[in-house]
Amino acid sequence: MKRSRVVFGSALFLTGFVFVFDSLTVTGFSVVSRVFFENNFLYSIGGFGLMMVGIAVVGSGLEKRVLGKGLDVNVHFVRHGEKDNEGLLTHEGANQGRKYGENLKGDVVKGYFSPISRVVETVYEAVRASGGKRMKMRERGAYLADVDEFSDEFNEAFKKDPKGVLNQWYRDGCEKYDAETVTSEEVASRFAHVLNNYIKMSGKLKEGSSVDLVNGTHEAFPETLLHEVMIRRNKEGKKVRGFDKIEDIGGTLGYAEGMEFKIHRNNEGVVDVGLEFRGKKYDVDMERLGELVGKYREGRKKD
């Protein structure tokens, strides 16, 4: 519609310009005016009128786009699909990625992933299976914990008692499990930084946008963010932040399972962030999210 206004308005302007130019007898080109009009002045005024109308029509077609209002951005943190004994994505894992992508409803879908092949392939299958316009995928490993950030002692203990070690790691928060192991709060701050960037980005998108951002990751890592910002009700019905044990939220992410942070901007541009996880909706502690982003920035300065 806006493009047709620009074309129509431009045609009116050019027609009016021809009329005005033709009315100037000193140029020797006043052919139309001599044949059809006796009064060059009226002919010239008519031309100016067409030019003004043309400018107005073009202007209406060039209205400034409304940004950061009436839109939705859905941020998915998704674990990779099923892997084999060598850590590679299986055929079933690829199918799991496709099934996840089939549920994406955004008009635009973009994928981000860690450099591990099973994560790359899972995100690729999900984005390809979606119905939205597929954008170029990007590697993004900065917010992920690396295996080198966990000590041999931690890894050995994890093999013997996965839930027990993870729960201790989550509860310790900013306290180190040992000197070589990254803290769960630091990992959470990386995810918080990414989510916060998406929130800021949503303010630059055009009105009516519907976007799905699929971030491929690994088991136990995005759960650190849930531990820090998820607002849920405990067994007594009281609102609490995070969880005491990973079992409280049904365990860690399964293969090709995700959590979805829903960023919504209303028609006034006011932003709201919610969380959908395992079929339930949760509030997000935005104050704590901001604190984590601050900790991430402080850590980057030290580096």
pLDDT per position as a tens digit, 243-259: 999 999 999 999 999 99
Give the closest residue to 122 by CA, choosing from 103, 88, 94, 84. Answer: 94
- What's the CATH number for 71-302? 3.40.50.1240
- Please tell me which of 27-36, 135-144, 285-294 the model is most confident about, judged by mean pLDDT: 285-294
pLDDT per position as a tens digit, 219-228: 999 999 999 9
For the chain, the domains span 2-61, 71-302
As a whole number of angstroms, the distance between CA 45 and CA 251 comes to 78
Q: Would the pLDDT of 33 be above 50?
A: no
Hey, CA dihedral for 117, 202, 270, 106, is it positive or negative? negative
Contacts of 202 (CB under 8 A, 6+ apart): 68, 71, 73, 263, 265, 271
pLDDT per position as a tens digit, 102-160: 999 999 999 998 888 999 999 999 999 998 787 778 887 645 556 678 999 999 999 99
Give the closest residue to 218 by CA, choosing from 106, 85, 117, 101. Answer: 117
pLDDT, residue 31, reads: 47
Helices assigned H by DSSP within 142-285: 152-160, 162-172, 184-202, 223-229
pLDDT per position as a tens digit, 76-101: 999 999 999 999 999 999 999 999 99
174 pLDDT tier (thresholds 50, 70, 90): very high
pLDDT per position as a tens digit, 258-276: 999 999 999 999 999 999 9
Name the average pLDDT for the chain: 85
